[in-house]
A and B are shown apart, each in its own frame.
Chain A
Amino acid sequence: AQSVTQLDSQVPVFEEAPVELRCNYSSSVSVYLFWYVQYPNQGLQLLLKYLSGSTLVKGINGFEAEFNKSQTSFHLRKPSVHISDTAEYFCAVSGQRGGNQFYFGTGTSLTVIP
């Protein structure tokens, strides 16, 4: 079975500052990793995903994440945040074989302060 831990439930950051949202996972099998963003009262939008290949993954809205297998982490980063980045961010993992149900972290609420 897989599980995901998002260590920070809330992250306040000033506009134009860099941000890192942490995600650690545990799994006994090879996994796919995802970051989703959820704006208030909306569904989840895929930010980026790691399936294989380069461990540095670039996504939409200037976000990127790095897969670190030895540390079982997939932290999300952005060098300069904007007010519009205020949202809930979810890290998710799925097994590479069969079923493909996603396991989500509890989310990190990012608040960008003007």
Chain B
Amino acid sequence: NAGVMQNPRHLVRRRGQEARLRCSPMKGHSHVYWYRQLPEEGLKFMVYLQKENIIDESGMPKERFSAEFPKEGPSILRIQQVVRGDSAAYFCASSQTHTDTQYFGPGTRLTVL
């Protein structure tokens, strides 16, 4: 059973471009969570999704950030018009139910030039 997959592992964007980060949960997991880790900080919750639904987006910045988890395919975290402050590691986690342990992917490291 493959673990949580994230791609790309590294992403470089210039200011103003769009960044798309993908997350494929573990097989059988329908709950996906996105976290952001800024340099020298812990992980901060961004958004929690189930298939086709956003359950909790209380940690998402109000502008430029969006997330989806379609019926088919991976979950996508989309950042429009990136700025230098968006540079961080973005981690995805998945779980089988909303009370189960979350398993983390290797992360996508976004660098904004």
Residues of A within 8 A of B (CB): 6, 32, 34, 36, 41-46, 49, 90, 92, 94, 96-107
Q: Which residue of B lies closest to A97 (CB)?
A: B99
> What is the size category of the interface that chain B forms with chain A?
20 to 34
- Segment with Cβ contacts to A, from B39-47, B64-72, B77-85: B39-47
The distance in angstroms between the C-alpha atoms of A100 and B107, with both chains bound, is 20
Contacts of B64-102 to chain A: CB distance below 8 A: 91, 93, 95, 98-102
The distance in angstroms between the C-alpha atoms of A44 and B95, with both chains bound, is 14
The distance in angstroms between the C-alpha atoms of A42 and B3, with both chains bound, is 13
**Least Cβ–Cβ distance between A43 and chain B, in angstroms:** 4
Instruction: Given A43-B105, A46-B101, answer yes or no on A100-B42 (Cβ-Cβ < 8 Å).
Output: no
**Least Cβ–Cβ distance between A63 and chain B, in angstroms:** 16
Number of A-B contacts (CB under 8 A): 63
The distance in angstroms between the C-alpha atoms of A32 and B44, with both chains bound, is 17
The distance in angstroms between the C-alpha atoms of A66 and B103, with both chains bound, is 22
Q: Is the CB–CB distance between B91 and A105 below 8 Å?
A: no
The distance in angstroms between the C-alpha atoms of A36 and B104, with both chains bound, is 10
**27 A-B pairs with C-beta separation under 8 A:** A32-B99, A36-B104, A41-B109, A42-B106, A42-B107, A43-B106, A43-B107, A44-B91, A46-B103, A90-B42, A90-B43, A96-B99, A99-B48, A100-B31, A100-B48, A100-B98, A100-B102, A101-B45, A101-B48, A102-B35, A102-B43, A102-B45, A103-B45, A104-B35, A104-B43, A106-B41, A107-B41
Q: Is the CB–CB distance between A49 and B45 below 8 Å?
A: no
Q: Does B12 contact A (CB under 8 A)?
A: no
Q: Which residues of A contact B31 (CB under 8 A)?
A: 100
Q: Closest 10 CB pairs between A and B?
A: A43-B106, A104-B42, A44-B104, A106-B42, A101-B45, A104-B43, A100-B98, A43-B104, A43-B107, A107-B42
Q: Does B56 contact A (CB under 8 A)?
A: yes
Q: Does B16 contact A (CB under 8 A)?
A: no
Q: Which residues of B contact A94 (CB under 8 A)?
A: 102
Q: Which residues of B contact A46 (CB under 8 A)?
A: 101, 103-104
The distance in angstroms between the C-alpha atoms of A104 and B33, with both chains bound, is 13
